[in-house]
Structure 1
Amino acid sequence: MQFIDLKSQYQAYRQEIDAGIARVLEHGRYIMGPEIEAMEKQLAEMVGQPHAISCASGTDALLLALMALGVGEGDEVVTVGFTFIATAEVISLVGATPVFVDICEDDYGMDPQLLEAAITERTRAIIPVSLYGQVCRMGPINAVAKTHGIPVIEDGAQSLGALQDGRMSCGLSTLSATSFFPSKPLGCYGDGGALFTDDDDLARVCKELRAHGQERRYVHTRIGVNARMDAIQAAVILGKLPHFENEMEKRSTLGARYTEALKDIVRTPKVLAGNRHVYAQYSIEVDDREAFRAHMQTAGVPTAVHYPVPLHLQEAFRYLGLGPGHLPRSERVSERIVSLPMSPFLTLSDQDHVIGSVREFFGA
């Protein structure tokens, strides 16, 4: 059994993906070839934003967003500590200071009630994270940000395809970022990512920044980076996009099926009102995680932990001077969270085996 079944996905869409890659090899425009523009157009339409700007990774998408906003030394950016390090890493990379707030215990996203107290006169941006395939509480977060005139950057690396009140993740804030890492809901066959915005000026600046600050060939208006996505990866995304909505429906259905079968014995994901959860990961909480994972491994079921150590306790952020107890909810969840196999190609028989193995561990 695969934790994420990428092989079956490729076999299902092989004709479209292979044909797209072959077209790139034939025309030879590997950097910023026509596939880039075509992909960006489709992504923008899907998300409901005027601008989609592709880049080399989800990390670069967040970095470009901060650079476009002019965030730098002496500034603060509010985010969560229960996420992949890239969310906060980019804050430090631009010279700013990450300010961590705790999560809600139901959706594992930023707690809007804690956000106000974290904002200071130095706050230049807020980065909430839509974790595990569910949009976090973007409405209340945007409301707090608006009262202070602070831009919001949704980290939607795991949530592209998820909906909140009918609007898709990455279409709910000033800027947003997603990742096309292979295991993400929409993944390429290497690294890739994208930014989304409804601001024409920010879109123009992001496009310049991703190509060394270049306005046109050899004319550089600002200091930038090399963060372009290549045309072969765009071809892979274009091959998958026609199937994306169907895959998101399958993820939602499989996630609901897990929950119905396990909600009486473990803490299962809660879907917020008005949300469609697309389960980039299906994550539960258990008391004795190591014993549970050992049992599942014996049963032939792969598991993963997202994430075992919150960021404020990582060595990389020791310089912030934060210790145990600073984010009590994040710390508690990091000790209990574990993810089960999930992909649109998870068969019902395999899912039943996972469910049976979980129930067996708990004697249920």
Structure 2
Amino acid sequence: MKYMNLYRGYEKRKGSIDKKISSIIERSQFIFGEELESLEIELSNYTGVKYAVGVSSGHVGLVLSLLALGFNAGENHSNKEVIVPAMTFFSTAEAPAFLGMKVRVCDIDEYFNMDIKKLESLINKNTVAIIPVNLFGQCANYDAILDIAKKNNIFVIEDACQSFGASYKDIKSCSGKLGDIAVTSFFPAKPLGCFGDGGMVFTNNEELYKNLKQLRHHGDEGTMIHVKLGTTGRLDNLQAGILLEKFKGFDEDMEHRRKAGEYYSDQLKNIVKVPKIAEYNKSVYAQYVIQVEDNRDEIRNKLNELGVPTALYYPHPIHLAPVLAEKLGYKEGDMPVSEYASKHNIALPIDNDILKEEQDIVIDAIKKVLGK
């Protein structure tokens, strides 16, 4: 068994994907092109957002979003603060830190997302943005976050790198309604993944859209006249073409993924702590993460011996990440919920095409290892 069997996603669309790849190669249209434009239109229509901009990765999307909001490269941003959750992939904090901004960290709640009860106390006159993360495919509490942001006149960037296809109170992730900008990732293991790195940025703001299109191409206004400091941040046309084919049947894939997550929860709820999904959320279970009380590493080793691979999300909360810990000034114990999660989480196999028989193998192994 694989932790994620990504080949099956290709196999069921092999004919159309191979045809698309061949067409792009024959035309040698690798950078920009009709596939990228079509994908941007497809995904903007799907989410209901006005503008979508294909970028080279979710991380680049976060950096470009900050640049587009006016935090220009090459300028001093040391007095500007951005709030991120303690439990997330490093990139969420890395993007503002990369631009010289100060990162403030917020602990998480029972849903693995930013704890809105602790958020407002972190805001001060230097706070310029909040980057909530829809961790493991479930949206954060955006009503509360947007209310706090509006009251304090600060930006919200929806980090939707794990939640494309999810929804919050029937509002789609990446719709542009859950922040000023939303960013998703097409890393191969994501619910909608390409064959390399890729991402997309979404907004309903025309000025931000124009900024993003310039910034992903070295600040070029279109005639090799560079009006901003940007980067090489484009989504390759080849990856866009692959994503167009993989997007066909995407809702069916996500329904399968949700049912797989719900099946795990139903079978394991009396054995381990299963992920809690808010009643107003529809998760895409980008990862299926349980928590065990003790001996996490020993349990993982025993599961591996039984042929069940697992993963960790994440071994270090953001405030204890070695490269940031000293600079941020936090210490162990400052984010107790995130620290507990980092030591007790186990991610189980899940993907768009996981078989019930495979899930039963995982479930039986967990029961055997935990003596249930």
TM-score by length of 1: 0.98
Partner of 2:122: 118
Identity of aligned residues (%): 39
Are 2:15 and 1:15 equivalent residues in the alignment?
A: yes
2:95 matched to which residue of 1?
Answer: 90
Q: CA deviation at 1:325?
A: 1.1
Task: Select between 321-330 and 191-200 the one with higher mean Cα deviation.
Answer: 321-330
Is structure 2 residue 238 aligned with structure 1 residue 265? no
In 2, Cα distance between the equivalents of 1:111 and 1:136? Answer: 9
Within 1, Cα distance between the matches of 2:323 and 2:69? 24
Q: 2:310 aligns with which of 281, 300, 303?
A: 303
Write the letter of the residue equivalent to 2:318: L
Deviates more, 1:329-338 or 1:313-322: 313-322
Tell me which residue corresponds to 1:160: 164
Question: AA paired with 1:280?
Answer: A
Alpha-carbon displacement from aligned partner over 1:153-192 (angstroms, at most 9, x marks no partner): 0111111111111111122211010100000111000100
Under a length normalisation based on structure 2, what TM-score does the superposition of the two structures give?
0.96
RMSD after superposition: 0.9
| SS, match of residue 13 in structure 2 | helix
306, 312, 315: which one aligns with 2:319: 312
Matched to 1:136, the amino acid is A
Say whether residues 1:37 and 2:33 are aligned partners.
Answer: no
Query: Can you give the 5+ residue segments of structure 1 that lack an aligned partner in the other structure?
Result: none
- Quote the offset at 1:73 in angstroms: 3.4
Provide the C-alpha distance between the structure 2 equivalents of 1:133 and 1:108, rounded to a whole number of angstroms.
Answer: 10
Which secondary structure state, in structure 1, belongs to the residue aligned with residue 41 of structure 2?
helix
Structure 2 Cα separation of the partners of residues 333 and 198 of structure 1? 35
Q: What is the deviation of 1:217? A: 2.1
Task: Give the whole-Å Cα distance in 1 for the aligned partners of 2:330 and 2:276.
Answer: 29
Name the SS of the counterpart of 2:96 in structure 1. helix
For the residues of structure 1 that align with 2:98 and 2:70, how far apart are their CA atoms? 13
CA deviation profile, 1:273-332 (whole Å, cap 9, x unmatched) = 121111111000012111110111011001000001111111110212211011111111
Segments of structure 2 that go 5 or more residues without pairing to the other structure are: 72-76
Corresponding residue for residue 351 of structure 2: 343
Divergent runs of 4+, >6 A? none
Equivalent AA in structure 2 for residue 19 of structure 1: K
Match of 1:149 among 134, 149, 153: 153
Q: Give the whole-Å Cα distance in 2 for the aligned partners of 1:139 and 1:20.
A: 41
Query: Aligned partners of 1:149, 1:23: CA distance in 2, in Å?
Result: 48
Contact 2:310 2:348 survives alignment (8 Å): yes
Out of 133, 137, 151, the residue aligned to residue 137 of structure 2 is 133
Q: Aligned residue for 1:292?
A: 299
Query: C-alpha distance in 2, partners of 1:252/1:84?
Result: 22
Provide the secondary structure at the position in 1 that maps to 2:83.
Answer: strand
Counterpart Cα distance in 2 of 1:94 and 1:101: 20
For residues 360 and 183 of structure 1, the distance between their equivalents in structure 2, rounded to whole angstroms, comes to 28
Is 1:53 the equivalent of 2:53? yes
Q: Distance in 2 between matches of 1:307 and 1:255?
A: 19
- Work out the CA distance in 2 between the residues paired with 1:70 and 1:202: 9
> Structure 1 counterpart of 2:161, which letter?
A
Matched-pair contact (CA < 8 Å) for 2:191–2:352:
no
Aligned counterpart for 2:340 among listed residues 322, 327, 332: 332
1:249 maps to 2:258: no
Aligned to 2:74: none
Q: Which residue of 1 aligns with 2:223?
A: 217
